[in-house]
Structure formats: structure tokens, C-alpha cells
Amino acid sequence: MRFALERMPLMLLALGIAACVTRGDIEEIKETQKKILTKLEQGGRPSMPQQPQRPQGPDPAKVYGFPVGDSAAKGGADAWVTLVEVSDFQ
């Protein structure tokens, strides 16, 4: 335990030195920031590629017809609403 306590300042110093950022790294970051700011001032926002517009869903105001033919059905043939279930059995 005493050995670990004696070595603690040395370990903390080594950790601090290893985690430091060099002056060159800081200068590189500053230069990159300057370039970015210059581009933003000249052209505003960078142009984003135009996203294709998503297709709209069915028109809720329109009445859609769906031919059911001789399919199995429950209820009267003259009903105002017919629910159609489409499925694929594999």
C-alpha cells in the first residue's frame, strides 16, 4: 500500500503528460476553424443534395374502387363499405 502511495504522484504526472495536446495540434485546429469560417462567410451554408420528395399517401377525399369479383365475402353485396384483406400465403 505504501509503495502505491509513494508512486501515485509519478503516475499522475505520467498520465498528465500523456494526455496533453501539443501546440501543433492546437494550431492545426485553429487553422481548420478559420477555413471553415471563411467558407461559411463566402457561401453561407454548404449545399445539401436535394432529397427526393416522398410520395404522398392516398387522397383521403377520394373514393377508391377495388374489384373483389367472386372473392369470399361476408355481408350484403350492396354495403356502403367493403373491407378487403390482401395476404400472401407461402
What are the pLDDT digits (tens) for 27-77? 898 999 999 888 888 876 656 677 777 778 888 888 878 787 888 888 887
Look at the pTM and tell me if it is higher than 0.85: no
Question: 82: burial class by Cβ within 10 Å (0-12, 13-18, 19+)?
Answer: middle
| C-alpha cell of residue 50 | 436535394
Tell me the mean pLDDT in the region 7-23.
73
Tell me, what's the pLDDT at 33? 92
Give 41-54 pLDDT, tens digit per residue. 887 665 667 777 77
Biggest CA pair distance of the chain: 94
- Alpha-carbon radius of gyration of the chain: 35
Helices (H), the chain: 2-18, 23-43
